[in-house]
Amino acid sequence: MEAEKVLAKEDSDYSLITGTSESGSLYAISKDRGGINLITESGETGSVDTQTRMSASHIHITENGPAGVIGFMDDGKIYKFQGTESWGKSYAGLWDIDLSDDMSRVCAVSQPVEGPGSAVCFEDGEKVWDEPLNDSVGLSISCGPKGGKIAVGAGHYRRNDQPLSQFGYSGVYFYEWGEKEWFEQTEVDVIGIALDSKNDCVTAGLDDGSIISYSTNGSKLFRKDGVLTASNVQWEAEDEGGFISVSEDRTSIVSHIFGALRCINTQGDVRWEAEIEGMVLDERSIQVDETGDRVLITTMSGKAYLVEKGDILWEESYSVGPVRGSLSNDGTAWCLSIQNNNTGTNIFEAYQEA
C-alpha cells in the first residue's frame, strides 16, 4: 500500500493526543495547555478553547459539524462542541470516556485519588444519571449505540492512610438507562472493556493479562459435572495482555502482549494475528478502525505501524518520541504526534492511503 503524507506541522503548543474524523477530512491535536487545534486535510486550521489548564487526554471528533468531545483527566473536565454551541462539565477523577454513536450522550467513569469512583452520563450538557461505584473505581467504559446500555470496567480503590493497600472490589458493572442490571466480580482490576450490543456481550480485559466475555442478559443456570451453577461467562482467554482496543462497531477487540497482536471477535474467535517489533506490555496506543481490519500502532520508542489483518501495510520510525496517533473509521487516514524533547516541540503528521 502507498501512503501519502498530506500534512506536516511543528509547534511548541502541540501535545501528544490526536483525533481523526470518520474519513480523515478533519484532524485534531491537543494543545499543551487546554483546548485542541482542528486541521483540515487541506491544511486549514482552527481551534477549540476550553478554559482548561492541562492538555487533553481524550479526543473524539466528527466532520459533521464539526463536532467533538474532549476529556481532560488532569483537570477533571469533559467538554463538548458542535458548531458554535458548546458545554463543559467538571468531573473529578475522570479516567475514561465513551460516546453514543451520534455523540449526543457522553458517558464517563472516575478514579479519584482516594476512595471509590462513579459512572456518569451527560446529554446536551445535562447530567442524565450519576451512579456511585460504592466499592470500586472506574477504569474503563463502553456504551451501546444509543448510550443506554453501559459496561464499566472497575478496579480496587485506595486510601491515603494506607497507600499500599487495596480496598473494595474489581469487576464489571452493567447498566441499562442508569439502572444497574448486574455486577460480576473479578480477582484483579478490569482495565479494558467492550460492549457489543449486536451480540449481547461484554468483553473485559483484566490486569493479569486475561480476557473474560459475559452475556449482557445476566447469569443463567446450567448443570456442570452434575452441579447446578449460575454464570454468564461466555468465554475466557489467558496471556492476552489485558489492555484491549475496540473496533468502532464494538464487535472486535485487539489485544497485545510482548509484541504479539491478536484481533478477536467478541465471540472469542481469532480473526488475525501479527508480530510487531518494539511493542511492550504496557503499550496502550492502538487505534482500531470500524470493523477491526486495520489497526494503527504507535510506540514509546518512536515507531508507527499500520496493520491490516495481520500484515504491516506501512511503517515509520523516528529518532525522537514517544509517538501517538489516531485512525479514521474507514482506516484510510491517520495522524501522528511525535514528541521531540530536544526542541520542546511536537511534530504533527497526517497520512492518507494513496
Predicted confidence band of residue 221 (pLDDT cuts 50, 70, 90) = low
Predicted confidence band of residue 282 (pLDDT cuts 50, 70, 90) = very low
User: Does the pLDDT at position 224 exceed 60?
Assistant: no
Predicted confidence band of residue 7 (pLDDT cuts 50, 70, 90) = very high
The mean pLDDT of the chain is: 91
3-state SS track over 222-286: EEECCEEEEECEEEEECCCCCCEEECCCCCEEEEEECCEEEEEECCCCEEEEEECCCCCCCCCCE
C-alpha cell recorded at residue 46: 482552527
**CA–CA gap between residue 154 and residue 188 (Å, rounded):** 9
Q: Are 297 and 288 in contact (CB under 8 A)?
A: no
User: Does the pLDDT at position 279 exceed 70?
Assistant: no
Predicted confidence band of residue 278 (pLDDT cuts 50, 70, 90) = low
Residue 318, CA distances (Å) to 57, 190, 258, 305, 312 in order: 23, 33, 21, 12, 17
User: Does the pLDDT at position 227 exceed 70?
Assistant: no
Predicted confidence band of residue 335 (pLDDT cuts 50, 70, 90) = very high
Q: Are 25 and 332 in contact (CB under 8 A)?
A: no
Give the domain 92-242 fold: Methylamine Dehydrogenase; Chain H (2.130.10)
**CA–CA gap between residue 268 and residue 258 (Å, rounded):** 21
Higher-confidence residue: 51 or 114? 114
Q: Letter for the amino acid at 70?
A: I
User: Does the pLDDT at position 315 exceed 60?
Assistant: yes
Which residues pair with residue 80 across a beta bridge? Answer: 69, 87
pLDDT digits (tens, 9 = 90+) for 24-56: 999 999 999 889 999 998 888 899 999 898 999
**CA–CA gap between residue 250 and residue 268 (Å, rounded):** 13
For position 229, what pLDDT does the model report?
58
For position 337, what pLDDT does the model report?
97
Find the mean pLDDT for residues 328-354: 96
For position 222, what pLDDT does the model report?
54
**CA–CA gap between residue 256 and residue 239 (Å, rounded):** 9
* Residue whose cell numbers read 486495520: 294
User: Does the pLDDT at position 107 exceed 80?
Assistant: yes
User: How much of the chain, in percent, has pLDDT values that exceed 70?
Assistant: 94
Q: Walk across the sheet containing 118-123 and list its strands.
A: 94-99, 105-110, 118-123, 126-132
Would the CATH topology of 12-90 be identical to that of 92-242? no
For position 217, what pLDDT does the model report?
86
Q: Are 105 and 123 in contact (CB under 8 A)?
A: yes
User: Does the pLDDT at position 83 exceed 80?
Assistant: yes
C-alpha cell recorded at residue 338: 511525535
User: Does the pLDDT at position 223 exceed 60?
Assistant: no
Low-confidence winner among 127-136, 186-195, 257-266, 316-325 (lowest mean pLDDT): 257-266
Q: Residue 11 burial (CB < 10 Å; 0-12/13-18/19+)?
A: middle
For position 163, what pLDDT does the model report?
84
For position 34, what pLDDT does the model report?
84
Domain ranges of the chain: 12-90, 92-242
**CA–CA gap between residue 325 and residue 2 (Å, rounded):** 19
**CA–CA gap between residue 221 and residue 237 (Å, rounded):** 22
The contacts of residue 165 (CB under 8 Å, 6+ apart) are 158, 159
CATH of the domain spanning 12-90: 2.40.10
Find the mean pLDDT for residues 275-285: 67
For the full predicted model, state whether its pTM sits above 0.75.
yes
C-alpha cell recorded at residue 129: 444519571
Higher-confidence residue: 220 or 217? 217
